[in-house]
């Protein structure tokens, strides 16, 4: 047992967009002195810094639609609430469908999303091209478009949360890894660091791709795997205007949006093995460029300007795990966002803080409980990119 050096009402492990948003919302609910441990020298150094910044509510699972709608409401007032510059640009998401079954499924989903109050439009291929003229829609059967979707700046968002959380009394400790958990029976009572134990009533696992290792300290088997994902960027292109929507071609899986006057291109590699490698695999470039040029022929002339790779924190059903694990008291999981963490951070920040402070979140998160995997009750999110 290590010497106790401090106490805190709550310790959050990880200062990415998720941990920072939770710290801010705890402060808003009156919790002073929450400690946020971050192993890196600054906030958002993990997956958050690698995100493409997409924010959308067009999901197949109602819980993801709900989380996104709550997040979008937060993002729409973020600059005013946090005192930052603009961070959210509602340019919309355009999904292109070229497979009959997929198109039928997107039309059904659009009905479900509209029923939840989302403004989702189903478009013909010609209407999609009116929205984004450089598209080749020769093989497109239809499209969906939601103008409330858009793009955020993950760095600005995280820094905004950190600054406001600090003003509300949170204590961010950078370069300070959590090294283990203290347990009394099945109750978590503190977090071990190199300088001793911080005793606390609640611990939040917000460790992103490292979440499974943190959960293991409490004997919890959390199926979150790190999977490398890439983004490639191009030099400036004439058609990349400020209102250009995010385009997702569900046929090939390639997605693209405006980035610094050029385009950001992404495509998941289905053969990527789990692991913590974040070096760029340039062999993937051709596999991304080919479907991107097929969809937007004008990209043929664009030069690649850069690339980076980061880690998705992936669960078997591509849905997050949020809430206390069974049989362990004092621990909250906010993990496994499977490519949706930045877009869900505001909602998760609010809901986890409510859960800790009020005893329950204001939105039912039952479908995101950890037990679903053991109960074999985990309908997967279909719209993963």
Contact call for residue 47 and ligand FAD (CB under 6 A)? yes
Q: How far is the CB of 253 from ligand FAD (least distance, A)?
A: 13
Reported as type and span, the H/E element at residue 171 is strand 171-174
Contact stretch for ligand FAD (CB under 6 A) within 23-31, 45-53, 234-242, 285-293: 45-53
- Picking from 261, 269, 273, the residue whose alpha carbon sits closest to that of residue 291 is 269
Q: Please choose, out of 112-120, 200-208, 294-302, 366-374, the segment that lies near ligand FAD by the rule CB under 6 A.
A: 200-208
Question: 114-128 burial string, b = 16+ CB within 10 Å, else e?
Answer: eeeebebebbebeeb
The tokens of 104 are what?
A: 């039928």
The residue among 51 and 137 lying less far from ligand FAD, judged by its C-beta, is 51
Give least dist CB 129 to ligand FAD, A. Answer: 24
171 burial class (0-12, 13-18, 19+ CB within 10 angstroms)? middle
For tokens 């959210």, name the residue.
88
Q: Does 340 bind ligand FAD (CB under 6 A)?
A: yes
What is d(CA 340, CA 81) in angstroms, rounded to the nearest whole number? 23
Does 257 interact with ligand FAD (rule: CB under 6 A)?
no
| Binding footprint of ligand FAD, residue count (CB under 6 A) | 40
Contact segment (CB under 6 A) with ligand FAD among 79-87, 95-103, 286-294, 333-341 equals 333-341
* Contact between 341 and ligand FAD per CB under 6 A: yes
For ligand FAD, the binding residue among 11, 12, 16, 113 (CB under 6 A) is 16
Note whether 92 binds ligand FAD by CB under 6 A. Answer: no
The DSSP secondary-structure symbol of 26 reads: H
Mark residues 159-198: x for contact with ligand FAD by CB under 6 A, - for none: ------------------xx--------------------
Which single residue is written with the structure tokens 């849905």? 319
Interaction between residue 310 and ligand FAD (CB under 6 A)? yes
CA distance 46 to 42: 10
Q: How far is the CB of 162 from ligand FAD (least distance, A)?
A: 11
Gap between the Cα atoms of 361 and 365, Å rounded: 8
The CA R_g of the chain, rounded to the nearest whole Å, is: 21
State the DSSP H helix or E strand holding residue 183, giving kind and residue range, or none if neither: strand 180-184
Pick from 312, 323, 70, 358: nearest CA to 205 = 323
Interface with ligand FAD includes 333 (CB under 6 A)? no
Positions touching ligand FAD (CB under 6 A) are 13-19, 37-40, 45-48, 50-54, 177-178, 206-210, 214, 229, 231, 310-313, 337, 339-343
């Amino acid at each position: 047992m290590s010497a106790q050096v401090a106490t805190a009402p709550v310790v959050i492990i990880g200062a990415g967009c998720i941990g920072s948003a939770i710290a801010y919302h705890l402060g808003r609910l009156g919790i002073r002195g929450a400690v946020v441990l971050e192993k890196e020298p600054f906030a958002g150094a993990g997956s958050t810094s690698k995100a493409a910044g997409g924010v959308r509510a067009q999901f197949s699972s109602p819980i993801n639609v709900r989380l996104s709608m709550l997040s979008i409401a937060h993002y729409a007032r973020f600059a005013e609430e946090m005192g930052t510059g603009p961070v959210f640009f509602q340019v919309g998401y355009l999904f292109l469908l070229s497979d009959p079954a997929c198109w039928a499924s997107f039309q059904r989903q659009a009905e479900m999303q509209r029923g939840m109050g989302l403004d989702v439009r189903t478009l013909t291929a010609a209407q999609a091209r009116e929205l984004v003229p450089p598209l080749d829609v020769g093989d497109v059967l239809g499209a969906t478009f939601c103008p409330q979707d858009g793009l955020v700046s993950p760095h600005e968002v995280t820094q905004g949360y950190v600054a406001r959380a600090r003003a509300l009394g949170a204590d961010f400790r950078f370069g300070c890894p959590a090294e283990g958990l203290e347990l009394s029976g099945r109750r978590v009572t503190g977090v071990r660091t190199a300088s001793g134990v911080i005793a606390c009533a609640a611990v939040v696992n917000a460790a992103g791709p490292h979440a499974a290792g943190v959960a293991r300290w409490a004997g919890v088997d959390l199926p979150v795997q790190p999977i490398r994902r890439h983004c490639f960027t191009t030099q400036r292109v004439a058609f990349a205007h400020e209102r250009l929507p995010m385009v997702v071609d569900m046929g090939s899986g390639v997605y693209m949006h405006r980035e610094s006057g050029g385009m950001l291109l992404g495509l998941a590699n289905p053969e990527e093995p789990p692991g913590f490698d974040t070096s760029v695999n340039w062999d993937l470039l051709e596999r991304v460029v080919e479907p991107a040029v097929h969809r937007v022929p004008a990209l043929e002339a664009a030069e690649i300007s850069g690339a980076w790779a980061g880690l998705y924190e992936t669960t078997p059903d591509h849905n997050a795990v949020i809430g206390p694990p069974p049989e362990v008291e004092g621990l909250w999981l906010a993990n496994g966002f499977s490519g949706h963490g930045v877009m869900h951070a505001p909602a998760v920040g609010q809901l986890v803080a409510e859960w800790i402070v009020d005893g329950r979140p204001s939105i039912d998160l039952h479908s995101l409980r950890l037990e679903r995997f053991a109960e074999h009750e985990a309908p997967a999110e279909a719209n993963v990119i």
